[in-house]
Structure formats: C-alpha cells, structure tokens
Amino acid sequence: MKIFVYEFVTGGGFAGQPLPSFWMEGELIWQALVNDLISLEGVEVMTLRDDRLALPDWPDLPNLVVTATNAERFASDFRHCLAMADAVWPVAPEEAGILECLNRDILCAGKRLLGCLPTAIGITASKASTARHLAAAGINVVPTYSAPFLMIAEGAVVAKPDDGAGCQETLFFTHLDEAKSWAMQQESKGFIFQPYVGGEALSLSLLCCEGRAQLLTVNRQHIDLQDDQFRFDGVTVNALADENGVYASLAAQVTASLPGLWGYVGIDLIETPSGPCVLEVNPRPTVSYAGLRVALDCNPAERVLLLPEMRPCRGIHAVQLETTHAC
C-alpha cells in the first residue's frame, strides 16, 4: 500500500510565507507518522517537505520517498503524490476550512482517507458548533458564547478563535467587564468566549470508527499562563489511568454523537470536581500521537490501518513531549 502522509505545516502549506510559531508541533506529528508507517510490512510512504526545513537524520529507506517542495512546485508536487497514492493520511488545521476541504478532495480523488469525514470536521472545526452539538447529546461542555455580552457569570473569561487549534491566540481576562471592553476595542469577529473553568487540563487519544471509540491514553497537557495569554508547553502522554472508566465512557459518548470521526482523534477537556468538561474535539492527529508508540505496546498507525477492527493496547509508559510556543 502506498500512503501519502501530508502534514500541512511542514509539508508546504506555508510555502511562500513564514512558518508559524507552532511548526514544531507539526514536525513531531509528521516524524511520528512517517516512522510508524515505514516500520510496517507492505507499506510505502510518500510525503512532502517544505524545502526550508532540514530532513531528520534518517537512513535511506526503499519504502520512503520525501519530496522537497516550495511555493512554485507545491501544487504539482501535491497532485503527483495524491495521484500515486492508494491512501492519504492528512494532518492540517481546521482553520478556514483547510482540513475539511483537504479531506473532501482526497475522497473526490477516489483515495482511501485515513482521517475523519468532512461532515464531522464541519462540526468540530468550530468550537461553538462542537459545544452545541455535544451539549444536545447530553455531554458536559464548557459554555460557549459568540460575544461576552451574552454571558451572565461575572468571573474570569477566556477568549479564543472559534476555529483555532489548541490554545492558539487564547486570552485570559480576570473579569467579564475586561472581556467586554476588549471585544469593543478589538476586531473580535471569529472569537468565542467561555467562562474560565478551573481544573486539570487533559486530553484523550482515541481510535474511532463508525460511531465507536477505543480509548488509547489519557494525557496531561502542560498549559501556562503568561501576560494574560495561554501557552502550550507540551504534553505527558499516558499520564493517567482510566481506572473507573469515566474517560472511556466520555469517548464513547462523543464518538457516538459524531459518527463521522474516524482514525486518530483527540479530545481536550478540563477535569473538574464534578467530572470532565469537554473543551474541543480534534478530528486529526494531535501532538500526543507522537508519544503513543512508546507509551503503548503497539504501533498506532498499524491500529488505524486495521480499522474497523479494534485490538486492545496496554499502556506501559508515560511519555513527556515538550513543544513550547506562544499560543
């Protein structure tokens, strides 16, 4: 099987413009995906690489082809890899419909999509739509508003882009009035506003298929607050055990409500005294994916290729991944 691994940030999506501050997150995911796939018998990997980035110190392998690309060549390089592939594993931001359109194009090309269906991405790309959808399914979510003027609680407020990834441009206001003042003075269109929910920042790594979910790991996210802006400093993969099944149950609820989720999916949540509260659903590989192979006794890429079959994975290690940047 020929698989085209396309990681948007490091694979030419920013060709002709500066790389974003979070490019190392894409790098971690890309390297992990490629390494997991090339270790599988019968799998050949094709991938694109922004020619401003050096290649990892990998040996020459007969089942790996890395094509250096730039702004002039990107469109033709992408079309060539897509045409040659049997399957495509895309990793891209949901912002501005990038991931949804990419996955739709892969399906239209008649290729096997190793990712979520566009229908599911259309919901999960928006934090507001995700909150409404999950709340309607009876899942506990952080209340989400299109403007701070709709909020009643007078406490701290968090503002973030509705289609942003992780804590990208995520701002903290100590009081609702501060959020209102900021919204009046700034171009806040496209932002959503949420009450600040105290608790432990966690994420779930899942395998999803046809409305079913297998919980792989419960991860602890390292989030820091500096100058009223949140920073993502990395994640400890497989940090917590799901001893009472609460997180597996939450994963099953979320996936049942979004049957278009397929393959690797991440869920960001806050663990509160009253239980987990969902922040967002990531319909693509997240940074946590990069630690799964060491954390588990299995190759996560192989498990994705085996879907709809789901085999047990046993957590054996906690793995810390560092990737500090301003969000």
pLDDT score recorded for residue 326: 41
pLDDT score recorded for residue 322: 77
Q: Give backbone dihedrals phi and psi of 202, rounded to 5 degrees, phi first.
A: -125, 165
Does this model's pTM top 0.95? no
Which of residues 241 and 185 earns the better pLDDT score? 241
List, for residues 279-319, the tens digit of each pLDDT value.
999 999 999 999 999 999 899 999 999 999 999 887 778 88
List, for residues 109-130, the tens digit of each pLDDT value.
999 999 999 999 999 999 999 9
Residue 244 pLDDT exceeds 80 = yes
* Rounded Cα–Cα distance for residues 57 and 150 (Å): 52
* Rounded Cα–Cα distance for residues 302 and 114 (Å): 11
**Integer CA distances (angstroms), 155 to 176, 179, 194, 275, in order:** 6, 10, 10, 20
Hey, how many other C-beta atoms are within 10 angstroms of the C-beta on 239? 20
pLDDT score recorded for residue 324: 56
CATH of domain 2-114: 3.40.50.11770
Residue 327: band (very low, low, confident or very high) from pLDDT cuts 50, 70, 90: very low
**Do the two domains 2-114 and 124-139+198-326 of this chain adopt the same fold?**
no
Q: Which CATH superfamily is domain 124-139+198-326 in?
A: ATP-grasp fold, B domain (3.30.470.20)
Residue 237 pLDDT exceeds 60 = yes
What are the extents of the domains in the chain? 2-114, 124-139+198-326, 148-195
Q: Look at the block and give the residue holding tokens 């954390």.
A: 295
As a whole number, mean pLDDT of residues 261-277 equals 97
Residue 167: band (very low, low, confident or very high) from pLDDT cuts 50, 70, 90: low
CA atoms within 13 A on the CB side of 289: 32
List, for residues 20-70, the tens digit of each pLDDT value.
988 999 999 999 999 999 999 999 999 999 999 999 988 888 999 999 999
